[in-house]
Amino acid sequence: MFSTMLRAVISATRPLYHFVYPPFCHVCGDATSQRIESVCENCWRSIKLVTPENSLLHQATERLCVHGSCSAVVADCVFEEDGALQQIIHMLKYGGMTSLGIALGKRLGHRLEADFTHAAINGIIPIPLHRTKERERGYNQAVLIARGVSSSTGIPLLNSLLRRRKFTVTQTRLTAEERRRNVEGAFVVNISSYTSVRGKRFVLVDDVITTGATTEAAARVLVAAGALPPVACAVALAE
């Protein structure tokens, strides 16, 4: 009875609340009624999409597939400095806006379904954070993105198969070689999961691929455990 009355009060007062505190886009600041997870449609549309001809895609494919341990690279967007996507990912990672991770993951899931033509995928693995960093942040943004990918594709999410055993400093200001050394030996497949990875193909999900060092380190561990070369999957590719 009380809950019914509360819902009625909220429904009745919502127009007044929005009149006094109009909804606004957390990226551009414009008040708008057309939003997707607190970001207006114009800002979502402003994000540059990855095309088959994109040079960043070709570079990532060469690093991770030709010379690495992955079978393919799938990405939805191009990470542009001071662009809408940079702000969205910043809000996801540091602003506690976890629903943005699900929204980005659903977009990425649609791209995965459209672009990937290889054998069946057995599971989605988010790139894990070290437990210290995850405790500080309160969550792993890659898990949220992977959850969105799983939601839109129906591919099962395997959150505990891969573990980050080494604490690493942020990769943001490191060179390509420093990034590679930073994540070397950082990941391990949980021992109890070894029998479940042999001969199977997985999707490794992260927010942004720059040099690909983190994804490559995780992929090598999976392949060493008997898995097929995984698909590298990211919301965005960056210089």
* Fold classification of 48-237 (topology level): Rossmann fold (3.40.50)
Per-residue pLDDT 10s for the chain (239 aa) are 545 554 554 455 444 444 444 578 889 988 866 778 889 999 999 999 999 999 999 999 999 999 889 999 999 999 999 999 999 999 999 999 999 999 999 999 999 988 765 558 999 999 998 888 888 899 999 999 999 999 999 999 999 899 988 666 566 666 666 666 666 767 889 878 777 899 999 999 999 999 999 999 999 999 999 999 999 999 999 98
Three-class DSSP category at 205: strand
Domain ranges of the chain: 1-46, 48-237
For 25, 42, 167, the CA distances from 31, given in Å and listed in that order, are: 6, 12, 41
Chain centroid to CA 207: 3
The pTM of this model reads: 0.84
